[in-house]
Amino acid sequence: MSQLQQQKCVEAAAQLKQAEQALTRRSFFRGSPDYLSAAPLLDKAGELFRLGNDWEASKDAFRRCADAQQHNRLPFRAAQAWENVAKTVLQQVQAEESSRTMSSQKSRVVEAHQAFEKASGIYVDMDEFGDVLLIDTHACDLLEATVKPSIVVETSRKLQSFLVKYEK
């Protein structure tokens, strides 16, 4: 790991620590965790971990950010966080392409597909149909590059039924 990557991971750990403090802080007027303060810190930590090539920590931070955004009742931001999880998985696959076996790459792609599905579901709930179309076509392109044709067919069928249902 290079000096710059280590520095990014240290910065990310500091952001994560601040987010943890926001989530554990309780006040007299607020009996629940402060998700509003924690969400941007978790998002920033996810980005910094991704720049530091700490893929698992990045995915975890983005997942926690999505959860915080759901608590904040901001589904669009939650969907964006799930997209970031999927993008991180794709970057991880590209970075580890030479050292990984084909079976572990398939599992990573399936993980990315699941993250795209979550983001797509949130967009459907919000009636943001243009974003659903973009995400699902991106997921189909991703899956075509792998050797998982059954998932490509399933995603294509979901996309077609979505397009028919909403006449897009």
Please count the residues of the chain.
Answer: 168
Task: Judge whether 78 and 107 are in contact, CB under 8 Å.
Answer: no
Residue type, 126: M
> What is the tens place of the pLDDT at every residue in 127-144?
666 666 666 666 666 666
pTM above threshold 0.85: no
pLDDT in tens, 50-68: 999 899 999 999 999 999 9
pLDDT tens digits for range 60-112: 999 999 999 999 998 888 888 988 888 888 788 777 765 555 556 667 767 77
